[in-house]
Amino acid sequence: MLEWLEEWYESQCNGNWEHMFGIKIETLDNPGWDISIDLEDTDVNSAPKEWTLIENYEERWLGFRIKDNKFEGSCDPKNLGTLISVFKKIVDKNEINVSEVLSTLKI
């Protein structure tokens, strides 16, 4: 998934986009990951989505939304790849199957 994200990022870089927009990946103190991806001036045309929390155990969870033309997501330490795959599904299909995501969370 990281390679896919690298390629998607590179495909957005056009001399302008990367100066105003981008991707941020940070750690959380609970612990976990936090990701923010600007959708402005990209081919991603997704309507705003409310926060969706998916969890299969107390330690394995993932949440995401689209707000203010940004994909925002957080997850536990072992599911960064799964969170990136949620973003990929939005880019590819503009939809998310929550039960499919739940089945892919790393236990």
Query: Cβ atoms within 10 A of the Cβ of 63, count?
Result: 17
When divided into structural domains, the chain yields a total of 1
Are 62 and 101 within 8 A, CB to CB?
Answer: yes
Question: What is the structure's pLDDT at 44?
Answer: 87
What parts of the chain have a pLDDT lower than 50? Answer: none
Give the domain extent around 30: 2-104
Model confidence, pTM: 0.88
Q: Residue 107 has what pLDDT?
A: 58
Q: What dihedral do alpha carbons 94, 100, 105, 107 form, nearest 10°?
A: 180
N-term to C-term CA, the chain: 18
Write down the pLDDT at residue 103.
74
Is residue 42 helix, strand or coil? coil
